[in-house]
Amino acid sequence: GESVGLHLPTLSVQEGDNSIINCAYSNSASDYFIWYKQESGKGPQFIIDIRSNMDKRQGQRVTVLLNKTVKHLSLQIAATQPGDSAVYFCAETFGQGGKLIFGQGTELSVKP
């Protein structure tokens, strides 16, 4: 039979506001982290990454923060736009060629 899906955490923001999406990762040995954006019915799209020797990295309108002490990762989106509406996943890995372990995801909804 059909499996029952979990309810994704959701974040609803007003257009133009900043968004912060959080992620707790599981493996203290993980040394590379990536944020992906997944729109409905599509594959994940790379947003930004960070290695464990850094605690902050900035891209265009996005910033990733890494706190290894508490195994926490966050994605900040500045001036959120309707096109940012999607599910956002963090992923962790360790070692070269290591497997990606995905977090549960957060659904971002941007209200115009």
Partner 1 sequence: GAVVSQHPSWVICKSGTSVKIECRSLDFQATTMFWYRQFPKQSLMLMATSNEGSKATYEQGVEKDKFLINHASLTLSTLTVTSAHPEDSSFYICSVSGISYNEQFFGPGTRLTVL
Measured CA to CA, the distance from residue 102 to residue 12 in angstroms comes to 22
- The pair of structure tokens assigned to 48 is 């930004």
Q: Is 96 in the site for partner 1 (CB under 8 A)?
A: yes
Q: Looking at 28, 46, 56, 58, which residue binds partner 1 (CB under 8 A)?
A: 46
Q: Is 105 in the site for partner 1 (CB under 8 A)?
A: yes
Q: How far is the CB of 16 from partner 1 (least distance, A)?
A: 28
Measured CA to CA, the distance from residue 13 to residue 31 in angstroms comes to 31
Q: Is 6 in the site for partner 1 (CB under 8 A)?
A: yes
**What phi and psi values does residue 8 have, to the nearest 5 degrees?**
-70, 140
Q: How far is the CB of 30 from partner 1 (least distance, A)?
A: 10
Q: Is 89 in the site for partner 1 (CB under 8 A)?
A: yes
Q: How far is the CB of 17 from partner 1 (least distance, A)?
A: 25
Q: Looking at 47, 103, 108, 110, which residue binds partner 1 (CB under 8 A)?
A: 103
Where along the sequence are the contacts to partner 1 (CB under 8 A)? Answer: 1-3, 5-8, 32, 34, 36, 41-46, 89, 93, 96-105
